[in-house]
Structure 1
Amino acid sequence: MAGNSDPLTPRAKLAVTAGKAVAAASRAAGRGSGSVIGGRVALKLDPDLLARLAQSLDVVLVSATNGKTTTTRLIAEALRAAGPVVSNALGANMPAGITSALAGNSDAKFGVIEVDEKYLAGVARDTDPKCIALLNLSRDQLDRAAETRMMAEAWREGLAGTKAVIVANCDDPLVVWAASSSPNVIWVAVGQMWKDDAWSCPSCGGVMQRPGDDWFCGECGFRRPTPSWALSGDHVLDPHGSAWPIHLQLPGRANKANAASSAAVAAVFGVPPQVALERMYQVQAVAGRYDVVQFMQRDLRLLLAKNPAGWLETFSLIDPPPSPVILSVNARGADGTDTSWLWDVDYTRLTGHPIFVLGDRKLDLAVRLEVANQHFQVCDSLDQAVQMCPPGRIEVIANYTAFQDLRRRVGN
């Protein structure tokens, strides 16, 4: 449907204008970007606004528990090779934030949209996407997110029969279950480090067999599909068997996996892997994640980890011991208030690192580290933790609102 000259009705234009005005007022008052409140006001004035704004775009939706924001950035960079892109690059990924982002750019050809897992089916209905990328599903925000099997079921029902091309991770059984109701799926093998949410079959509840990188249910025959794209070391293998080198400024295996999925999405829109992967090199940091900042004459690398799967991937990124590590955990609204997920994280991977603990729930984290036999010190502030750190670059790992607190403190 791309190319409509002006899909907006007078009411829609009024909604967009009002939303932008409210967002600007919110920014002026120092209350953040204003994108969410602006989007809410716009949708109140025109409940169909998201659908209207998406009409003139070729839309990609990206959903997952981990890696949504980074993958959205990588896909947006790749698709810029084929035309202007509008994206909710700052991660406001519910309908209000998405509406606000799309309202901000009227000449774009592509809309690359990160979507919160719970809202995927509804946003897909509104935006008529050409492609949907499904990366992974794992436990997250235990006080309010549906159990992972229920989330996979919601995706499966919501995407059944969709016209969109689904680009899905064949190594995550929950994602495969969700995507299997769709008629047009491109399977990508990008691995799955965290397996603790997929030991029972999402189809029948049987025990999942996991020999090597393969998986299957011995009871109902549900099994890993054959991928047409794959991450292989530092290369992406395309459906023709060609290997394309991945050059990223972002660290770690998880980001190579994100790049492989992004290359498969870009190919749906006619952007070849070589061009897509070269453009992804432009991405240095994503909303402050992976940034190395100077603070109190020290180099701090800021890493975001919001749930057990994210912490596991993040531990694989950090410098080897004895590099100091600062951990900060909050449990505010945006984080989820239940911190029992800390017990699912394997903190023995930090053995040998000097550890410093911060955040609203530093004592919850301290108890968990004590049980894991880690040596750590509890600190009252980032400044105190940095002063106590031995020499070397400091790895700072924080969950969502703790990460925002740290960015404010270091002026990032």
Structure 2
Amino acid sequence: MSASLTPRAKFATTLLRTAAALSRATGRGDGSVIGGRVGLIVEPRLLELLAEGRHVVLISGTNGKTTTTRFTTAALEAIGRVATNSFGANMPTGHTTALAKAPKAEYAALECDEHYLGQLLDAARPKVVALLNLSRDQLDRAMEVTALAAKWRQTLQASAGQTTIVANADDPLIVWAASVCQRVVWVAAGQSWTADSAICPNCGAHLDRFGEFWRCTNCGLNRPSPQWSVAHQGEAVVGPDGRRYDLRLQLPGRVNRANAATALAVASLFGVDPAQAAPRLSEVASVAGRYAKVERDGRQLRLLLAKNPAGWLESFDMIDPVPPVVLSLNAREVDGFDTSWIYDVDFTSLAGRKVVVTGDRRTDLAVRLEVDGVDFIVVDDIRAAIAAVPPGPVEVVANYTAFQDIRAEFNRVN
């Protein structure tokens, strides 16, 4: 838990909580961002002061941060209270609010935006950092992915200290970034999207792939042997000692089993017995609305968030093969205005089923589906999409602001 705060920090924390409460009361959001902003204006070191004395893990990557953070929180709760930014406010303002809301929590599991990892390493001084994956995202405003990996590598090298890295052995960009660290625990978390790691990040030569294994024949960078992995048969995670830990996850897909493996690896570094932690992961049914099931007009909709090519491919792996699919695409500021990335997504797996397209950029998405030979209908909004499909299960895949629009329509708060 944080050390005794200075009077200035206590005042900043009080203002933070007040601002956050006002935001919630006026329906402007959960208050994490505005609360943290107010607190940091009053005391710029507030995040550092609130983190002092706690056992912190930072979780970062392009996809899966929120889910892995939720799994990690569930696992760590086996041994104590955990402060966490459970609504995904993953920049310093959100981290500050998360810590301020849980002053007695000994542990903190914080989702961290990829571009703020260095700042959080300095401020929170984490015991563990989990690195999930890196792929293209928000093309018009985000850093090119190899450049981001280089930034991570430089940041990690400069702050080796007492931090242990839990890293995805299947992502060459993650391996290259983490390989400068003294203590790394490797997880076979998989990599369904390989287009952003076709060349070696270290020397620029072509990477050879043989099933799960990859290597650079020029400089020798290669897939390290993982200590943690997802079992090839059944729903289980295999630990460093070869023991299997059965999973009964409510969240679908292999990617979530990989997220669970990372969470168990992280929790074990804090002294949590994986056999004790694994059952707790099965209690996670929805993560900030993702994977939520909504009943509307005789339709049972499952909501899936997909923000970039890797995320859309993972979502297609999760959906059931029979029900109709609603696809919703926006291109607002937080999504990135450039939608050209949809041409990197293979939509052919949707052929032969009922597909409904909506969202601000539904026309862009319709053209893309036509190129892949997928039949579809275009509608104005989610209400029209519901009306266009028969009663029964429906899979809904949407990018960030489209997902939030759909959640607002259903008036969901979690």
Which bracket does the TM-score occupy, shorter chain normalised? over 0.9
Judge conservation of contact 2:72–2:267 (CA < 8 Å) in 1. yes
Q: What secondary structure does 2:267 align onto?
A: helix
Instruction: Name the aligned partner's letter for residue 296 of structure 1.
Output: D
Map of 2:192 onto structure 1: 193
Q: What residue is the counterpart of 1:317 in the other structure?
A: 318
Structure 2 match to 1:208: 207
Q: Does 1:100 align with 2:101?
A: no
**Separation of aligned partners in 1, 2:241 and 2:384:** 54
The match for 2:396 is: 396
Shift of 1:217: 0.4
Change (3 A) 1:340 1:162: farther
Contact 1:331/1:337 (<8 A) preserved: yes
Match of 1:364 in 2: 364
CA distance in 1, matches of 2:358, 2:315: 17
Q: How does 1:2-13 map to 2 (within 5 A)?
A: 6-13=3-10
State the identity %: 53
Distance in 2, matches of 1:335 and 1:218, equals 37
TM-score norm. by structure 1 comes to: 0.97
Unmatched runs of 5 consecutive residues or more in structure 2: none
Q: Give 1:348's aligned residue.
A: 348
Quote the offset at 1:391 in angstroms: 4.1
SS at match of 1:197: helix
Runs of 4+ in 1 over 4 A off after TM superposition: none
Name the counterpart of 1:220.
219
**1:147 is the counterpart of 2:148:** no
CA drift at 1:29: 2.1
Shift of 1:388: 1.2
Secondary structure in 1 aligned to 2:196?
A: coil
Secondary structure of the structure 1 residue equivalent to 2:29? coil
Find the counterpart in structure 2 of residue 336 from structure 1. Answer: 336
Q: Equivalents in 2 of 1:76, 1:107: separation in Å? A: 15
Matched-pair contact (CA < 8 Å) for 2:166–2:265: yes
Between the aligned partners of 2:333 and 2:31, the Cα distance in structure 1 is: 18
> Do residues 78 (structure 1) and 66 (structure 2) align?
no
Matched, 1:24 2:21: yes
Conserved in 2, the CA contact under 8 Å of 1:162 and 1:182?
A: no
The answer to whether the 8 A contact 2:83-2:102 is kept is yes
1:145-196 superposed Cα distances (whole Å, 9 cap, x missing partner): 1111011111111111242110001000000011111111001112111111
Contact 2:286–2:292 (Cα < 8 Å) also in 1: yes
CA contact 2:298–2:392 (8 Å) conserved in 1: no
CA–CA distance in 2 between the matches of 1:345 and 1:41? 40
Deviations 1:4-51 (A, max 9, x none): 6x4311111111111111122222222111110110111111111101
How far is 1:378 from its partner? 0.7
Q: CA deviation at 1:410?
A: 1.6
After superposition, the C-alpha distances for 1:356-398 in whole angstroms (9 at most, x for unaligned) are 1111111111111111111011101211111111343110100
**What number of residue pairs does the alignment pair up?**
408
Q: Distance in 2 between matches of 1:28 and 1:82?
A: 33
SS in 2 for 1:303: strand
153-162 vs 82-91, which deviates more?
153-162
Could you tell me whether the CA contact under 8 Å between 1:208 and 1:218 is conserved in 2?
Answer: yes
- Unmatched 5+ residue regions in structure 1? none
Instruction: Please say if residues 298 and 391 of structure 2, whose CA atoms lie closer than 8 Å, have aligned partners that are also in contact.
Output: no
* Residue aligning to 1:285: 286
Alpha carbons 2:297, 2:391 under 8 Å: kept = no
Q: 2:120 aligns with which of 116, 120, 123?
A: 123
The correspondence of residues 26-105 of structure 1 with structure 2, limited to 5 A, is 26-105=23-102
What letter matches 1:275 in structure 2?
Q
User: Residue 210 of structure 1: SS of its match in structure 2?
Assistant: strand
Instruction: Tell which deviates more after alignment, 31-40 or 19-28.
Output: 19-28
Letter in 2 for 1:411: N
Q: Which amino acid aligns with 2:345?
A: V
Bigger mean CA deviation after superposition, 395-404 or 237-246: 237-246
**What is the alpha-carbon distance in structure 2 between the residues aligned to residue 239 and residue 39 of structure 1?**
39
Q: Classify the secondary structure of the residue corresponding to 2:245.
A: strand
Match of 1:275?
276
